Chain A
């Protein structure tokens, strides 16, 4: 991945800041060097040398011989200390201050279109150290090369060296400066982004059951605050939507159950039981379907509070008590077995009871007349519902837990929502549902409640 395209705002800002600093520093350094270089080249010695070279070239006449060194000194063209060589275009020496200097600068030449500065150290043939200039000048005898030198002046040299040294030091400071600035920049960015990270953590905690949470805008940078405020407003609308959904569930319950009450009541008041049996069965089916749809709606709304400490044993007792009259009416019996002590988990009582009710309803539908449906609660957080019916076709596998999926052989009333509800409830409790066909006959569904619901209660 291209690092510049990185999604990290921090990295992006740091990289751009670093690039800006680098470019700015390089530009400043270049400008500085040009300025400094200009100053060095315009330093005193060099100005004198240029002036001498200029004057020497000007002193050359086309018809008179070139003046001797002494004459030149006398004419004020050069100083007594000045050494020089004048060469024609072919490199032949036209004049010089002395032969020793001429020999010493035999290698020095005008090159590449610009003036050359040079220094001559003291040596055997040379009693003096010189700072010199080789340049090309136009004269009345055409273009000539003038090499001119002044004795080395320590005062001027120290100044120049100081300038050079300063420039060299600055070269080293630049990268350090860039790095330090970058570091400070990153720290500043990081500090500036801290409220954003906090905001991100806050928003990560928003769940369907905690929709009232709003992100704190107090500490946010003014550039980010409007975005977060807009997010908060979006959350307002989402919460409102959820609230409407929640109210819809309650309203739908009321709206659907009222006509069902009317119909079933009217049927009961009407004529003999035999006449209305079929109709009453229809109403019962519709009632069950409405109840299941509401359970599904509740589960789907995602607002299930799983924080209560609930006792699986008392859930089972409630549901068995509730279902017993129905079972007896259908000539089946219900039994509750297993542990005598409470089995606590963290969860939602209503949901667990809904799930269990669906399992028991199914079992009652499948167990033959005059047999028993057994509900067993064990200390290891398992609720089992077993019937004495024909068992479940193993080929169906997990399909039976899908919504609206019904076994082809299943002729009992129902829409195929029951086991889907059980599945959802068990999943919400980080548990699992499994079924077996018992060797002695009949199906057995096991709701196994999950580790996290258990750990939460121990904490």
Chain B
């Protein structure tokens, strides 16, 4: 997997490169908006990590330019500003995700993986997290080396949670994906399926766990 890092702060580039390469990615780094634009148009990167403050222009400009050229490259924005407007502007300009400095490399890696898992992403077919692998085409899950059988609905839940690994997924989102419009889900149907999936993960010693955020939904995280 080849990633492009657009960042002018040399120390951050070093740390990002180090962390991302340890996670198995190939990393190219550029430090100006101009070189970022030419890199994106010449090389087919799997994802880009874009700092908003660049010496020769705004990172948003790079993003807009890339989208104008028709590039579908998943883009994660790095920003030191956490103002709501800044986030909204970034996402409106076509960013797929954002991280506010300072962030943990671990979090960046998991966000990048999540981006790559999205439909259209190169890893869209096979999702993996911890010791679990999910083949979204064959609908098969392996934990460690062992295949584990999940019901159709449990698989759907697991897929959605995997695609948004480390982030809270509202219960309504799961309900929508699980049930057709004409079928009203029973009020606790989702929680029953989550309960079963969670038990199977635990029985098979999965390194990931489904946590409940009561009142909102569920989150899949690495277990400590």
Interface residues of A (CB under 8 A from B): 250, 253-254, 257-266, 268-269, 283, 287, 317, 320-321, 324-325, 328-329, 331, 333-338, 349-350, 353, 372, 374-375
In the complex, A303→B109 CA distance in Å?
A: 36
Where chain A touches its partner, the secondary structure class is helix
Range, interface on chain B:
20 to 34
State whether A262 and B215 are in contact (beta carbons under 8 Å apart), knowing that A269-B105, A321-B168, A325-B166 are contacts in the complex. no
Interchain CB contact under 8 A, A328 and B80: no
The answer to the question of B145 belonging to the interface, with a C-beta cut-off of 8 Å to chain A, is: no
A338: B residues at CB distance < 8 A: 215
Known contacts A264-B104, A321-B216, A335-B214, then 14 further A-B pairs from the complex at CB < 8 Å, ordered by chain A residue:
A258-B101, A258-B102, A261-B102, A262-B9, A264-B105, A266-B15, A268-B104, A268-B106, A269-B19, A321-B213, A324-B213, A325-B219, A328-B211, A336-B214
In the complex, A349→B81 CA distance in Å?
A: 15
Give the contacting residue for B84; candidates A257, A320, A349, A374; CB below 8 A: A349
Interchain CB contact under 8 A, B214 and A268: no
In the complex, A250→B167 CA distance in Å?
A: 27
Interchain CB contact under 8 A, A261 and B101: yes
State whether A320 and B213 are in contact (beta carbons under 8 Å apart), knowing that A265-B105, A331-B224 are contacts in the complex. yes
A-contact 0/1 string along B11-27, CB 8 Å cutoff: 11011101100100000
In the complex, A338→B216 CA distance in Å?
A: 11
- Which of A287, A325, A333, A336 has the largest number of chain B CB atoms within 10 A? A325
Give the contacting residue for B167; candidates A283, A321, A349; CB below 8 A: A321
Which residue of A has the minimal Cβ distance to B109? A268
A324: B residues at CB distance < 8 A: 168, 211, 213, 216, 219
Which residue of B has the minimal Cβ distance to A253? B80
Interface residues of B (CB under 8 A from A): 9, 11-12, 14-16, 18-19, 22, 53, 80-84, 100-106, 166-168, 211-216, 219, 221, 224
- Which of A258, A317, A331 has the largest number of chain B CB atoms within 10 A? A258
Interchain CB contact under 8 A, B216 and A260: no
Sample (8) of A-B pairs whose CB atoms are under 8 Å apart: A258-B9, A261-B15, A262-B14, A265-B19, A268-B19, A269-B15, A269-B19, A287-B102
A350: B residues at CB distance < 8 A: 82-84
Which residue of B has the minimal Cβ distance to A318? B84
Where chain B touches its partner, the secondary structure class is mixed
B167: A residues at CB distance < 8 A: 321, 325
A-B contacts at CB below 8 angstroms, number: 105
Interchain CB contact under 8 A, B80 and A257: yes
Which residue of A has the minimal Cβ distance to B85? A350
Interchain CB contact under 8 A, B221 and A337: no
Q: State the Cβ distance, B164 to closest chain A Cβ, in Å.
A: 11
Which residue of A has the minimal Cβ distance to B16? A265
Interchain CB contact under 8 A, A262 and B213: no
B216: A residues at CB distance < 8 A: 317, 320-321, 324, 336
A262: B residues at CB distance < 8 A: 9, 11-12, 14-15
